[in-house]
Amino acid sequence: MNPTMNRLLTIAFSWLIAPAATWAQTTDAPDTPEPGSLEAIAQETSDPRFSSPWVASVPESAEIPSPTDFLGHIAGAAGELPNSATIYAYLRELAQASSRVSIEVIGRTEENREILLLAIADEAGIRALPELKAASARLADPRLTTPAQLEELLPLARPFYYFNGAIHADESGAPDMLMELAYRLAVSEDPMIRRIREQLVVLINPVANPDGRDKMSDWFYRFHRGKTDYDTLSRQSPPYWGKYVFVDANRDAHQLDFATTQAVAKMFFDYHPTVIHDLHEAIPLLQTWNGTGPYNPNLDPIVYAEFLEMSFHEMSALSALGMPGVWTWDFGEGFGYHYTDSIAMNHNAIGRGYETFGNAVPLRVTRKIASFDVTRTWFRPLPPPDREFTWSHRDNVNYSQSGSLAALDYTAGQAKQLLRNFYQKGYNSWTRGKSGDPYAFVIPAEQGDRLRVASMINRLLDQRIEVGRASRKFSIGDETFSSGDFVVLLDQPYRNYAVDLLQPQEFPDDAEHEPYDDISWALPVHYGVRTIAVNDSAILKVSIRKITERVKPEGTVASSGRVYLLKDTGQESLLAARYRLADFEVRIAERAFRLGRQTYPAGSWVIDDQPGLADALRAVSAELALDFDAARSAPDVTLHSAPLPRLGVWVPWADTDMSGWIRYSLDQQRIPYTYLRDEEIRAGKLKQDIDVIVYGAVLLDLQGQIHGIEPTHGPMPFNRTDEFPSLGAPVSSDDITGGIGWQGLANLEAFARDGGVLITLGSGSTLVLESGLVRNVRRVDLHGVTTPGAHLRTLFLQPQHPIAYGYPAETYAFRSPYSFYDPPRRWLTMSYCTSCLDGPIDLRHVVMQWGTQPYDAEDDPKAGPAAPILISGGGKNLSALEGRPALLDVPLGDGSVLVFNFNPMHRDLNHADSRYLYNGILNWRYIASRDAGSR
């Protein structure tokens, strides 16, 4: 049988087994298809199996405009990618015309675009929105509703089911799908749709990331419209979707840093939806999330059963409609909840998501999939029949819309039970907190960095975790706490999330499945803030005032002296403070010193009084909560000057994601920097304008870090034009291809040789270590060793190094899965050698190592270390990491290269690590000159 015949028969057979009853229902359905919609959708659908009767046509309405009425084409048509303005204009018309739809603005993006939210229900539901929201809020807080009152409340409540569309802009089908879904939900009289309207309120955020959608739309029309060969398309996505990060916009659930997540959080605390459903695109053909395990022990077990049940419903419903390739389970682990949908998971609701097969571009193209994807298994009972097929934008819309309808149908059928569960999860969380284990967390307000304590507390408050302050001094056991210390009493509805955020993570050692992302998010560890779990019920008798506003501590400035002193107790804000004091000379103590009864650690500041200084210190102290002491004369200690560096942040066009967090953190602290594109690195003469270059972690190998985006399709301009006004922000380029090239690498070397300090973070360090810019450090394959985003113990081998200012000699850092390296070795001079790097270990340039045990090449992997290397998270065979370099300071010409084997600027989370980087920036001149002496 020839393949074509085989395929035709397969299609014919699948039509025979397709559930005829369902198709028959649509014939009798009360909806009249919009004229032409059946044909248009069939034409845009690659294969009849890639559709369902639920979405095969669009219902006709005399009064309400359909997407086709507005756009002139069916949603998901090839060659069309409407931008947010067009989508919003249509949805506003829909809301205007239909009393079943309301619309509101729930946010504004960094580029000042609106983020819109639609609510869709029957007329009664839309009229009663305020009452329904109030009922949801009462279900969310069990202190407002007793179990006895629950049954009275349920008839007054409905589940809100929230869809989030295209937070990842190149996962481009959801906005098109959601326009059609909104219209269908508003006008269809199909019994299934009517029941959804009557039982639920459907919330739709059609374009979760409008900055990204508009860039994606412009990018498509500029470079890809009309193309058909998927394998030869140039880069399908613009280099930016927003002002800062890229894919990592979906790692912001704990931080709520970006407008995309802030809007979802605002919606959540306003509506208390039962479900947040985030629509993504990647793997074929429709994957409905729920995680493989290990599952997070702090979530209520009800949720795990709920999301499995919902996923299985989607899988069975769509399989029954004859749609192949719908599956669940084998994606992500279910331990970490850092994603947008996790806002629901962390607050007793259900977070879920899809990965629909997407082309990124709205084109009908030939796609090939892996053999795994066509395997029939319990979690994919009806796999796609072929590994190669044609796939269109409309196929994508058909799948995600059919799945969404199945999910809504399920939720409508289970509406009251899901509300009951939502209440029960909050109730369980609250009552668990009342019974201890622990009762509370206490966080002393005055510790090394009071501003960082406040930032951590504010993060809890933003998540609606309730925090109080002690009204007076109190003791628990043999520890005494001060008035004003923070107390998180756990008898509260979000107790589970509080515990999850405030205790170190323990990823099971024997887990069958690997983590998908970070496995340590404990805020006290990330922030370096001492937090005490209290399991003594005496804490319940302590007088505590609940905090109602964000915390803003201030510092003090001593009345005038000849000299001002700032004790370095690890404050994160020292770099920001240095920039605020740009007009004044600051000197830094290289050793600890005593003055009166005070001991000032190395890193403390000495500032001679000068006109205007006192006022400037008062402003800095108020803003950054720093204390400035006064003295009659400078202390007797070696000081070095800390001139302000001209800071550059190099962001390669090939990967802007992780560097976006660096830019975000610097912007938040108003630390000025120059954005360096590949173009600037290529142009050279870097030291003329820049003293310190920071190069962040990137998901690129050495080749990608040097040569960037494949230049075959270049030039690819990313700049604003009248036709493509969304491109070119936050920075523009005439051509984003080609990377820095060999010349750029040579220019970076010249920069350091000219006295600059080049700082590479995490995987960005590949560039200097593996190109040979830093010599004699060899990458090592540590088989079976994993550090998937965990906190690990470290040791300063050079505790006097400026990078160590503010830290104890034994400390820790957050490590993502980057490459491993051996310590540097001295070069052996022999007549010939085959492994010249195998000279003796040279620790002169190792500032900090992993673990506390020394590196021992002979005894590898090592026996268990004295102090366990793991602090929070997990990892495999971690003892093999002991003694390997975590941070190098390598002299190069008149300058230096600081090489981090971790990322101290990870997602605005690991604030305890920031000072490693900031010390390098602040002491740049001293480091370069110190290194010059050590050559």
Q: Point out the residue whose Cβ comes nearest to Zn ion.
A: 280
CA nearest to 568, candidates 593, 594, 605, 597: 605
CA nearest to 911, candidates 581, 688, 664, 552: 664
- Whichever of 246 and 497 has its CB closer to Zn ion, that residue is 246
- Whichever of 122 and 171 has its CB closer to Zn ion, that residue is 171
What is the smallest separation between the CB atom of 282 and Zn ion, expressed in angstroms? Answer: 6
- Report the chain's terminal Cα–Cα distance, integer Å: 74
What is the smallest separation between the CB atom of 171 and Zn ion, expressed in angstroms? Answer: 5
Q: Which residue has the tokens 């490693």?
A: 916
What is the smallest separation between the CB atom of 281 and Zn ion, expressed in angstroms? Answer: 6
10 Å CB burial of residue 315 (0-12, 13-18, 19+) is buried
What is the smallest separation between the CB atom of 403 and Zn ion, expressed in angstroms? Answer: 15
Give me the torsion for CA of 185, 189, 195, 200, rounded to 10°: 30
| CA dist., res. 891 & res. 929, Å (int) | 9
| CA dist., res. 104 & res. 494, Å (int) | 27
Q: Are 690 and 753 in contact (CB under 8 A)?
A: no
Q: Which residue has the tokens 């359909």?
A: 66
CA nearest to 533, candidates 438, 447, 460: 438
How far, rounded to the nearest angstrom, does the alpha carbon of residue 837 sit from its chain's CA centroid?
39
- Whichever of 396 and 503 has its CB closer to Zn ion, that residue is 396
- Whichever of 53 and 358 has its CB closer to Zn ion, that residue is 358
User: Three-state DSSP class for 501?
Assistant: helix
- Whichever of 109 and 136 has its CB closer to Zn ion, that residue is 109
Q: Are 224 and 247 in contact (CB under 8 A)?
A: no
| CA dist., res. 916 & res. 762, Å (int) | 13
What is the smallest separation between the CB atom of 331 and Zn ion, expressed in angstroms? Answer: 12
What is the smallest separation between the CB atom of 354 and Zn ion, expressed in angstroms? Answer: 10
Q: CA distances (Å), 483 to each of 365, 473, 502, 554, 627, in order?
A: 66, 5, 21, 16, 20
What is the smallest separation between the CB atom of 326 and Zn ion, expressed in angstroms? Answer: 18
- Whichever of 168 and 911 has its CB closer to Zn ion, that residue is 168
Q: Which residue has the tokens 């085959």?
A: 834
**Residues whose CB falls within 8 Å of the CB of residue 279, separated by 6 or more in sequence, listed in order:** 163, 164, 165, 166, 171, 173, 174, 177, 178, 353, 354, 356, 400, 404
- Whichever of 280 and 707 has its CB closer to Zn ion, that residue is 280
Q: CA distances (Å), 789 to each of 15, 593, 793, 902, in order?
A: 48, 37, 13, 10
- Whichever of 403 and 738 has its CB closer to Zn ion, that residue is 403
What is the smallest separation between the CB atom of 246 and Zn ion, expressed in angstroms? Answer: 10
Buried b (16+ CB within 10 A) or exposed e, 419-443: bbbbbbbbbbbbebbeebebbbbbb
The encoded tokens of residue 51 equal 């559709």
* Residues making contact with Zn ion (CB under 5 A): 168, 171, 280
What is the smallest separation between the CB atom of 701 and Zn ion, expressed in angstroms? Answer: 22
User: Three-state DSSP class for 886?
Assistant: strand
- Whichever of 284 and 744 has its CB closer to Zn ion, that residue is 284
The encoded tokens of residue 763 equal 């995987």
Q: Are 632 and 561 in contact (CB under 8 A)?
A: yes
What is the smallest separation between the CB atom of 327 and Zn ion, expressed in angstroms? Answer: 17
What is the smallest separation between the CB atom of 279 and Zn ion, expressed in angstroms? Answer: 8
- Whichever of 167 and 490 has its CB closer to Zn ion, that residue is 167
- Whichever of 289 and 410 has its CB closer to Zn ion, that residue is 289
- Whichever of 168 and 845 has its CB closer to Zn ion, that residue is 168
What is the smallest separation between the CB atom of 656 and Zn ion, expressed in angstroms? Answer: 16
